[in-house]
Structure 1
């Protein structure tokens, strides 16, 4: 569980590992391709959405991804939410960094903040780091 500066809380994880003990989320945002959905999506019984996002790359529909990340942040204000990809570091970390921006962390500090508070390898690739900056620039 990550608590952001604005008080919102989001669980991040990798779908390759079993879900932690405790209550199920009220909502989940999952990041992956159709293959990941087929392999791991069947065990998700709570309301959720998917962003098509290949491993180590960027979302295939960036505007859709931005809207879903912003909606996840809004849900996190009143609901138990989670975000997950296969491994839980690159794509999930990228979304966590975007959530950090939404919660008030400056864009240029969001990756470091996420690595400190979520996962030391969060936001694995240079293009994912660039996407966090692009996300912040397009918030208005």
Structure 2
């Protein structure tokens, strides 16, 4: 569980691994293609949404992804939430960096903050790092 500077808390994980012990989340945001949904989505018994986001790439629909990430941040203020992709580092790390921006971390520090507080390999590709900066730029 990651606690962001504004006090919101979000569980990040990889769907390839067993869910951590503890209560189920109130809501989940999952990042992947229809293949990942078919393989791992059946076990998700709590309310959730998906962002179509191929591994190592960027979301297919940027506006949809932005809207869902902002909504996840709002939910995290009052609910137990999680975000996950297959491995839990690249796509999940990218969303965690965006959540860091929403919680007050400067955009140019969001990836480093996420690597220090969530996963050392978070935000795996240069285009994912650029996407975090563009996400922040659309908040103005």
Partner of 1:128: 128
Q: How does 1:4-19 map to 2 (within 5 A)?
A: 4-19=4-19
Partner of 1:73: 73
Deviation, structure 1 residue 100: 0.1
Distance in 1 (CA, whole Å) between partners of 2:74 and 2:22 is 22
Distance in 2 (CA, whole Å) between partners of 1:139 and 1:45 is 32
Distance in 1 (CA, whole Å) between partners of 2:139 and 2:26 is 25
CA RMSD, Structure 1 to Structure 2 (Å): 0.3
Deviation, structure 1 residue 63: 0.5
In structure 1, stretches of 5+ residues that fail to align are none
Deviation, structure 1 residue 109: 0.1
Deviation, structure 1 residue 55: 0.1
Runs of 4+ in 1 over 3 A off after TM superposition: none
Deviation, structure 1 residue 139: 1.1
Partner of 1:114: 114
Q: What is the total number of aligned residue pairs between the two structures?
A: 140
TM-superposition CA deviations, 1:106-129 (whole Å, max 9, x none) = 000000000000000000000000
Instruction: Return the TM-score normalized by structure 1.
Output: 1.00
TM-superposition CA deviations, 1:9-37 (whole Å, max 9, x none) = 00000000010110000000000000000
Distance in 2 (CA, whole Å) between partners of 1:83 and 1:2 is 11
In structure 2, stretches of 5+ residues that fail to align are none
Q: How does 1:89-108 map to 2 (within 5 A)?
A: 89-108=89-108
Partner of 1:29: 29
